[in-house]
Structure 1
Amino acid sequence: MSPAVVWAQQTQAPTALTDAAQKAVSNNPEVQARLHAFNAAREEIDVARGGYFPRVDLTAGVGRERLREPGFDSQSFTRRGASINLNQMLWDGLATRNEVRRLGHAKLTRYYELLDASENAALEASRAYYDVLRYRQLVALAEENYVQHRSVFEQIQRKVQAGAGRRVDFEQASGRLALAESNLLTETANLHDVSARYQRIVGETPPGSLPPAGMFKDVPAQANELQRVGQAKNPAIAAAIENIRAAQADADGRKAPFQPKVDFRLRQDWDKNRDGISGTRNDGVAEVVLNYNLFNGGSDVARTRQFAERLNNAKDLRDKACRDVRQTVAIAYNDTRKLSEQLNYLDQHQTSIEKARDAYRKQFDIGQRTLLDLLDTENELFQAKRAYVNGEHDLGIAYVRTKAGVGDLLATLGLTRLDTGNQPELQNWEAGSDAPERCPPEAPAPVITNKAALNSRAAGLVPVVEPSAVAPAASVASAPGPDAGVVQAVRDWASAWSSKNFDAYSAFYAPGFQTGKMSKQAWIAQRRARVTKPGDISVQVEDIRALTKGADRAVTTFRQTYRSANFSDTSAKSLEWIKVNGRWLIERESNR
C-alpha cells in the first residue's frame, strides 16, 4: 500500500493533539518548502516533454542596406525580409524520453520528501505537545515540593526560636528549602523553553489547558514485522528509491550522444531587394537533417561513467536511509516495551516512598525520626514522582516515534494531507527490484535479564544465621537501675521551665555548660527571654531513660512536649549530667 493511501486513512486520535499536528503540517516552513519543490518538479516535466513537439520560429526585419561590389557602382536600398522555421525532432537517441522519465521520478522523489517532512512535522508537534504537558506536571510537583520544604523550615524555625531546636537543624532545613526553590526555578525555565519550541513548531503558543494526549498502542507485536512495515511504508525510503530510478533514467540519457540525431526542418523565407536586386524573392525548404557526432575528445564516454557512479551513489543513499529507519524503528519500539514495564516499577516506587514519607513525618513529630531522615525521604519522593511523570510522557513519545518511523503517524492522527493534485502513478507504487539490498528487516534481539539468576545471586549474599545455643542458667548479679536522682532532676528542670522561674531553671546548668558558638552572656540572655516570655508555658517530659556513667556522670533521653501561646512542639531530647557536690547539673544538651 502506498503512503498516499495510508495517509488518507482516518483513525481515532486526541482532538487537541490532532489540531496541533495539523497546524504544524499546514504551516511549517519546511513542509511548505517541500510542497513548492514538488510543484516545481511537476512543472519541470512539462518543460522536458516539450522536446516531443515541433519548434516554430518567426524572424522578420527591415533596414537600409548599402552594397559595394568590385566592378559595380555602390548602391543603397531598403531591404525587407521575413522567415518562418519549423524544427521537429524525429530521433534524439531517446534523450527526451529519458529526461521525461528522470523528471517523473524526480517528481515522486519530491513527493515522498514532502510526506517525510510532514511526518517529521507531526512528530515534532506531538513531541512538543507531550513536553508541554510533561513540564506543566513537573512544575506542579516542584511547587508541592517547595511547599513541603517550606512547611518543615517554618516548623524548625519556630523550634529554634522557642529554644527547643538545634541551630544545625535550622541550617539544614534552610539549605533544603533553597534547593527546592532552585528546582522550582529550573522546572519553570524548562516549561518556558518547551513552550517556545511548541510555538516554533505549531505556529502559536500552547493553550492554557491541554488535555492528555493519550497513547497509540496499536503496533505489531513482533519487532521484525514492524521492520517490514517500516521498509514498505516509510516515505524516506520511498524517496530514496525514486531517486535511484531518476538516476537510472539520467544515466540512460547519457547514451544519446552515441546515436545520430535526426530532425525534420521546414523553412519559408520572403525577401524584398535582397542582395541589391529589386523585387521580391520567396524561398521554401523542406528537409530531413541527420547530425552524428563522430568524436568529441572522449567526453561522452567519461560522462557515461560519471552518471553510472551517480547511480551507485543513489543506491548507497537508499541503503543508508533504510538503515537509519531500521535503527529509529528498533529503538522506538524497544522504548515502548521497556517504558511500559518500567512504569509499573516507577509507580510502585513513588507509592511506597509516599507511604514512607507520611510515616516518617509522623515519627518526626514525636521525635522518633531525625530531620535528615524526613528531608531525605521528602526529596526521594519528589524524585520518584518526577521519574514517573518523565516515564509516562517518554512512553507516549515512544509510541509516536514508532508510528512516525513506519510512516503511519499522519494516518494515526487523522490529518488532512496537503493538496498535491492527482498522482495516478502512486496507486500501484512498489519498490520492486529497487528495494534496499543491504538492509534486511531484522531488529536486534531484545536484552532480557534473567531475574531468577539475579535473585539466586542475591540470596547467596545473605549470611546464614545459626540458632544460638541455649546457655545454662547462671546466677548473675542484677544490674543497677537508672539513677532515680537524675530522673527526678529532669522532672524538676522541666517544672522550673514551666513555672517560668528562670533562677531555678538556670541553677540546673553546670558552670562548665557548653553553650556552643554563643557566649555565656548571650546564652543566658536568650534563655531568659524564652523562659520568661509572656503567656503560659507548659513543658512535659515522658519516656525518661537514664544511663549512668560512673558515680558522677549520666545521660538522660526523653520526649519533650513544649506548648506556649504561639507555639507547640514535640521532640526527642538528650541531657548530659554531672554530679557536683551531690547535685545533678546539666553539662550538655541536644535535640535529636
Structure 2
Amino acid sequence: MHLKTRAICAAITLLAAGHAAAQTTDTLRAAAEKAVSGNPEVTARFNAFRSATDAVDVARGGFLPRVDLNASVGKDNDRINGRLPTESQSLTRSAVGLSLTQLLWDGLGTRGEVTRLSHDRLARYFELLETTEQTVLEAARAHFDVQRFRRLVRLAEDNYVQHRYAFLQIQSRYKAGVGRGVDLEQAGARVALAESNLATEQANLHDVTVRYQRIVGELPPTQLNTLSLLKQGVPASPGEAMANSLKGSAAISASIENLRAARAQAQAREAAYQPRVEARVRSSAGRNVDGIQDQTRNSAAEIVLNWNLYNGGSDQARVRQQVGLMNQAADLRDRTCRETRQVAAIAYNDTRKLTEQLVYLERNTLAIEKARDAYRQQFDIGQRSLLDLLNAENEVYTARRAYANAEHDLALAYARTHAAMNQLGTQLGIARTDKLADEAVGWAADGDAPARCPVVVGELSPTDRAALDARAESMKANAPAPAGSAPKR
C-alpha cells in the first residue's frame, strides 16, 4: 500500500481503547479495524469526500476577483473610405495588459452553488460513515462465518468418525460370520454420506475464508477467539431499537443532505432570471495599443451588466427539471428510511427469536445424544437394528449442526442490530479520533426528516402454547387405544 493511501486510511479511523472494546474479542476487533483501514470501498468513499470538499472551494472562488494577464502582437490594415482619395493604413501593434473582474451580483447563483456543494460534501461524509459501518459489519460477518464453518467442519469430522467406527464394527462382525452383508452395505453408504457432508463443509470453509480475505485484506488467523455476543448496548424493546436506528442512521442523514443539495440547486437555477453585474478594471501598455497609432497606454474601469431576456425556454425547463430531481431526492430519502427501519426491526427480532430458539435446540441436542447412546448400547446387545443406530447418529449431527448455526446467527444478529443503529464500530472499540469526527457537530434533520416512515413496531401475536397443548391432548383423547391394551372399565 502506498504511503499516501496509508495516511488516508489512518485519517479515517483509529483504534480506541475503552469499555466497549473490553467486552469484544481481540480477533474480531482486529479484523474490523483492518477491514476499515484497508478496504478499497472505504478509501474510495474517503476520496469522494475529499473531492467534495475541494468542490466547495472551487465554488467559493466565484466570490473572489479574477485577475488575467494578456499579451498580444499583430498587424492591422484599415481602409478609410470617407476621405479623398481613399486611404489605406497599416500598423503593427503589441501590448501587455492586466484585467481584474469582480462579480457584484448574479442573482445569488454563486451562493446557491456553494450551498449545494456544501450539502453534497456532508452527504459524502455521511456516506463515508455508512460505508465504514457496513464494512465493520461485513468484517464481523466474515469473522463469524469462519468461526462457524470451522466448527461445522469439526462436527462433520466427528460425524464421519462415528460412522466409520460403526462401519468397522459391522465389518468385523461380517468377517466373523455373525453379521449380514446388507448391514455392511448400509453402513458403507452412510460413511459415504458422511464423507460428502465433510467435503461440503470444507468447501464452505474455503469460500468464507476467501471472503474474509477480500473484506479484511488478509487470511484469518489460525486461532480465533471464542464466539462473542455483543449484547451490551442493545435496546430493551423493538420500538427503541427502531427509533435509535432512524435517529443514528448515516444513510438517512446522507439522503437528507442529498435532498438539501437538490433544493439548493433548484434555487440556484432561478438566478438565470436575474442580471449579472461585474466590475472590471483593465490596463494595457505597448505600441499602437488597441490599433490606435502612437497610443502606448490604455486604462479603463467599468460596471458591466448583462441580462439575458430570452434563452429559448431553457432556463424554465432547467428549473422544472431540478424541482423533479428534488422530489426524487425526497422519495429516495423516505425509501432509505423504510429500508433502515426494516433492517433494524428484523435484526432485533432475530436476537430475540434466536435466543429463544437456542434453548430448544440445546434441549433437542441433549435428548438426541442421550437417545443415540442408548441406541448404541441396545445395538450392541441386539435390541436395536443398524438402521436405528445410523439414523440416531445422523440426528445427532443434524442437531449439533443446527445448534452451531443458531449460535453464530445470534452473534451476527447482535452485530446487525448495532450496525442498524450505527454503533457497531463504537461497540467494537473503533472510533474516529481525527478532525472527521467534528464534521457533523450540531447537524440536525429539522424539517427534512423522512415524512413517510413512522416508527411503528410490527409485533406478531405470540403463539398460544396452552391452546396448542390442548389440541394435542384432544387428539390423544380421541385416538384409538393401542393394540393389546386392556379396555377401560
Question: Given the two structures, how large is their TM-score scaled by the length of structure 2?
Answer: 0.91
- Structure 1 residue corresponding to 2:178, chosen from 133, 156, 164: 164
Instruction: Tell me the distance in 2 between the aligned counterparts of 1:343 and 1:116.
Output: 31
- Are 1:9 and 1:411, in contact at CA under 8 Å, matched by a contact in 2? no
After the TM superposition, which residues 72-221 of structure 1 pair with which residues of structure 2 at under 5 Å, given as runs?
77-217=91-231, 218-221=233-236
| Aligned match of 2:337 | 322
Q: Is 2:328 the partner of 1:313? A: yes
- Are 2:289 and 2:297, in contact at CA under 8 Å, matched by a contact in 1? no
Change (3 A) 1:293 1:62: closer
Provide the alpha-carbon RMSD of the alignment: 2.2
| Aligned match of 1:51 | 62
Q: Deviations over 1:433-470 (max 9, x none)?
A: 00010000122113421101100111100036697478
Deviates more, 1:283-292 or 1:96-105: 283-292
After the TM superposition, which residues 164-313 of structure 1 pair with which residues of structure 2 at under 5 Å, given as runs?
164-217=178-231, 218-274=233-289, 278-313=293-328
Q: Is 2:54 the partner of 1:40? A: no
Q: Post-superposition shift, 1:278?
A: 4.8
Q: Post-superposition shift, 1:424?
A: 4.9
Q: Deviations over 1:469-518 (max 9, x none)?
A: 78xxxxxxxxxxxxxxxxxxxxxxxxxxxxxxxxxxxxxxxxxxxxxxxx
| Aligned match of 2:361 | 346
Q: Deviations over 1:372-406 (max 9, x none)?
A: 11000000000000000000000000011111111
Q: Post-superposition shift, 1:422?
A: 5.0
Letter in 1 for 2:43: Q
Letter in 1 for 2:316: V
Instruction: Tell me the distance in 1 between the aligned counterparts of 2:36 and 2:357.
Output: 33
Instruction: Tell me the distance in 1 between the aligned counterparts of 2:431 and 2:467.
Output: 52
Letter in 1 for 2:414: Y
Q: Bigger relative contact order, structure 1 or 2, given CA contacts below 8 A and separation 6+?
A: 2
Instruction: Tell me the distance in 1 between the aligned counterparts of 2:227 and 2:325.
Output: 45
Q: Post-superposition shift, 1:72?
A: 6.3
Q: Post-superposition shift, 1:299?
A: 1.5
| Aligned match of 1:437 | 451
Q: Post-superposition shift, 1:281?
A: 2.9
User: Which has the larger helix fraction?
Assistant: 2
- Are 1:26 and 1:418, in contact at CA under 8 Å, matched by a contact in 2? no
Instruction: Tell me the distance in 2 between the aligned counterparts of 1:443 and 1:401.
Output: 18
| Aligned match of 2:350 | 335
Instruction: Tell me the distance in 1 between the aligned counterparts of 2:160 and 2:382.
Output: 23
Q: Deviations over 1:216-247 (max 9, x none)?
A: 11311111111111111011000000101101
After the TM superposition, which residues 378-527 of structure 1 pair with which residues of structure 2 at under 5 Å, given as runs?
378-417=393-432, 421=435, 424=438, 426-463=440-477, 468=487
Q: Post-superposition shift, 1:9?
A: 9.4
Q: Post-superposition shift, 1:426?
A: 1.3
Letter in 2 for 1:144: D
| Aligned match of 1:377 | 392
Letter in 2 for 1:96: T
Greater Rg by CA: 1
Q: Post-superposition shift, 1:76?
A: 5.7
Q: Deviations over 1:276-310 (max 9, x none)?
A: 76534322211111212222222211211111111
Instruction: Tell me the distance in 1 between the aligned counterparts of 2:408 and 2:176.
Output: 46
Instruction: Tell me the distance in 2 between the aligned counterparts of 1:399 and 1:226.
Output: 11
- Are 1:22 and 1:416, in contact at CA under 8 Å, matched by a contact in 2? no
- Are 2:148 and 2:408, in contact at CA under 8 Å, matched by a contact in 1? yes
Instruction: Tell me the distance in 2 between the aligned counterparts of 1:8 and 1:37.
Output: 25
Deviates more, 1:360-369 or 1:455-464: 455-464
- Are 1:75 and 1:276, in contact at CA under 8 Å, matched by a contact in 2? no
- Are 2:35 and 2:136, in contact at CA under 8 Å, matched by a contact in 1? yes
Change (3 A) 1:63 1:260: closer
- Are 1:334 and 1:446, in contact at CA under 8 Å, matched by a contact in 2? no
Structure 2 residue matching 1:462: 3-state secondary structure: helix
- Are 1:124 and 1:201, in contact at CA under 8 Å, matched by a contact in 2? yes
Instruction: Tell me the distance in 1 between the aligned counterparts of 2:290 and 2:116.
Output: 49
Change (3 A) 1:367 1:289: same
Instruction: Tell me the distance in 1 between the aligned counterparts of 2:334 and 2:453.
Output: 6
Instruction: Tell me the distance in 2 between the aligned counterparts of 1:55 and 1:173.
Output: 89
Letter in 2 for 1:224: G
Q: Post-superposition shift, 1:61?
A: 2.4
- Structure 2 residue corresponding to 1:19, chosen from 27, 30, 33: 30
Instruction: Tell me the distance in 1 between the aligned counterparts of 2:234 and 2:440.
Output: 25
Change (3 A) 1:76 1:377: same
Instruction: Tell me the distance in 1 between the aligned counterparts of 2:290 and 2:101.
Output: 27
Instruction: Tell me the distance in 2 between the aligned counterparts of 1:259 and 1:241.
Output: 29
Q: Post-superposition shift, 1:63?
A: 4.3
Q: Post-superposition shift, 1:359?
A: 0.9
Structure 2 residue matching 1:89: 3-state secondary structure: strand
Structure 1 residue matching 2:477: 3-state secondary structure: coil
Q: Post-superposition shift, 1:64?
A: 5.2
Structure 2 residue matching 1:288: 3-state secondary structure: strand
Change (3 A) 1:207 1:276: closer
User: Which has the larger strand fraction?
Assistant: 1
Structure 2 residue matching 1:151: 3-state secondary structure: helix
Instruction: Tell me the distance in 2 between the aligned counterparts of 1:304 and 1:353.
Output: 71
Instruction: Tell me the distance in 1 between the aligned counterparts of 2:214 and 2:467.
Output: 50
Structure 1 residue matching 2:459: 3-state secondary structure: coil
- Are 2:227 and 2:408, in contact at CA under 8 Å, matched by a contact in 1? no
Q: Post-superposition shift, 1:270?
A: 2.1
Q: Deviations over 1:79-117 (max 9, x none)?
A: 221221111111111101110000000000000101111
Change (3 A) 1:427 1:8: farther
Instruction: Tell me the distance in 1 between the aligned counterparts of 2:16 and 2:251.
Output: 18
| Aligned match of 1:575 | none
